[in-house]
């Protein structure tokens, strides 16, 4: 906890510098604004609300659960043309096609995932699985991700996520495919299945667990309170989860996200996303090396207003963190599982 050292990340085949003593240094840098506490439950001007008009002129239905619609400003489109031929190997381009969707979790703008009921969270999980199966029938990669909070680039406070299906394997997917395949070849067990078993035994980085899932601050974590959500059994894709596993996933997600909010008593910002075996043409291939998992990357370090910046050394050399994963896990683990907004005063 007092001496810097480097830790290896086998999932990304890279290293992170751990410098726990640096968290003690005084901070005179940027201070963020806490997220607003007075988000209206319904706002006719909010394009994600039921009955509101979106930028393209379409009117949302009066939805009462989850609501999925095509992104009005998609990063990927299914009919993009082929790029021109390159005249030099240093100037290469490739086709990039796909579909981008937005998924609202709930009709209320002031209700984030940790404040939803287990049934409402389960409905979110079911819709994720449906989209993963539907888009994965033809696209090699379906990326489900949530940017929560303005600090992580979220432009709308309404609880929602995005789903981008692409005609190619993105960089992170390609990297995790290679490292997990190598591990299975060398050790005859999926990497993250073995890792989950080890973390369940060691417990020093464990945050929450139940019969089907566990959440840890990974040994190689980069962000201060980064976590990794893992199933205990071998599961390749989100749509492969059993009914009982979806129920227990809703429970463990709620517990984790309540702890996140309780850490600094604020609606905790993060970027999260699911990684699982590729789809489309890969559905016919052997993908046993893959293990389903979700990454949570929160930026807050010291308080609700002081974040960890990935700049300088991180951009030009390698990732660096200011407290050990064990310290972060212990702090998260010790937090109550009743949301600070719902405690009896």
Q: What are the binding residues for UDP-alpha-D-glucose?
A: 22-25, 55, 71-72, 147, 153-155, 162, 308-309, 313-314, 320
Q: Would you list which residues are annotated within the binding site for Fe cation?
A: 176, 275, 293, 295
Token pair, residue 227, equals 């976590």
3-state secondary structure of 32: coil
Within 13 Å of residue 127, how many CA atoms lie on the same side as its CB? 22
Spell out the residues 6+ positions from residue 120 whose beta carbon is closer than 8 angstroms to its own. Answer: 65, 105, 106
CA distance 178 to 290: 10
Give the neighbor-by-neighbor strand order of the sheet with 14-18: 5-9, 14-18, 319-321
User: Active-site positions?
Assistant: 160
Token pair, residue 240, equals 């492969």
Beta-sheet pairing, 306-307 with 14-18: unpaired
- CA 14 to chain CA centroid, nearest Å: 20
């Amino acid at each position: 906890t007092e001496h810097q050292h480097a830790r290896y990340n086998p999932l990304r085949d890279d290293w992170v510098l751990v410098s726990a003593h640096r968290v003690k240094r005084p901070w005179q840098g940027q201070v963020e604004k806490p997220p607003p506490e007075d988000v209206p439950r319904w706002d006719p001007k909010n394009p994600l609300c039921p009955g509101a008009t979106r930028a393209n002129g379409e009117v949302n239905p009066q939805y009462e659960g989850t609501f999925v619609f095509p992104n009005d400003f998609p990063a990927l489109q299914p009919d993009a043309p082929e790029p021109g031929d390159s005249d030099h190997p240093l100037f290469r381009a490739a086709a990039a096609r796909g579909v981008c969707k937005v998924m609202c979790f709930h009709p209320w703008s002031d209700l984030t995932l940790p404040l939803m009921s287990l049934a409402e969270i389960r409905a979110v999980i079911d819709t994720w699985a449906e989209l993963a199966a539907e888009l994965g029938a033809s696209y090699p990669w379906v990326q489900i991700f949530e940017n929560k909070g303005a600090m992580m680039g979220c432009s709308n406070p309404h609880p929602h996520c995005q789903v981008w299906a692409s005609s190619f394997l993105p960089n992170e997917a390609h990297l995790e495919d290679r490292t997990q395949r190598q591990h299975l070849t060398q050790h005859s067990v999926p990497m993250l299945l073995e890792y989950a078993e080890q973390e369940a035994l060691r417990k020093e980085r464990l945050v929450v667990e139940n019969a089907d899932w566990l959440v840890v601050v990974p040994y190689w974590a980069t962000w201060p309170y980064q976590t990794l959500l893992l199933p205990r059994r071998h599961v390749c894709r989100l749509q492969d989860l059993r009914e009982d596993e979806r129920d227990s996933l809703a429970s463990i997600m709620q517990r984790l996200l309540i702890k996140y909010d309780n850490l600094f008593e604020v609606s905790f910002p993060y970027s999260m996303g699911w990684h699982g075996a590729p789809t489309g043409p890969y559905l016919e291939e052997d993908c046993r090396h893959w293990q389903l998992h979700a990454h949570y990357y929160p930026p807050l370090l010291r308080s609700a207003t002081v974040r960890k910046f990935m700049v300088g050394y991180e951009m030009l050399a390698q990732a660096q963190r200011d407290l050990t994963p064990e310290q972060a896990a212990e702090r998260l683990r010790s937090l109550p599982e009743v949301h600070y907004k719902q405690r009896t005063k």
